[in-house]
Amino acid sequence: MNQVNEKLKQSCEEAIVAIQKLNDQTYAELQSKLEWCIGSYEHDKNPAGLYEYGVQSLDALKTAKEAQPRKVTKKVIDGLEKAIKDFSQN
């Protein structure tokens, strides 16, 4: 289970980098919540927030990719999708 949680955390960190590259204030709140959830997870190892905001980030990044395909890589989206799927199957 811990490996699944760590993969989710890593995917959320990659999502933050992708959101930063968008340089769009629309995603600023989502980015800050993701950052907070990663810090919270580091503290208490409860991945609930990572999952919740990971799902929201995935939706946001898919939308952003449609508008700006070069700014969001398929690798980030695929990694986040896989981490969320693996987490939800546990």
Spatial separation of the C-alpha atoms in residues 53 and 50, rounded to whole Å: 5
CA torsion, ordered 29, 32, 33, 36, to nearest 10 deg: -160
**HSE on the CB side for 55, CA within 13 Å?**
9
Q: What's the predicted TM-score (pTM) here?
A: 0.94
pLDDT in tens, the chain (90 residues): 699 999 999 999 999 999 999 999 999 999 999 999 999 999 999 999 999 999 999 999 999 999 999 999 999 999 999 999 999 998
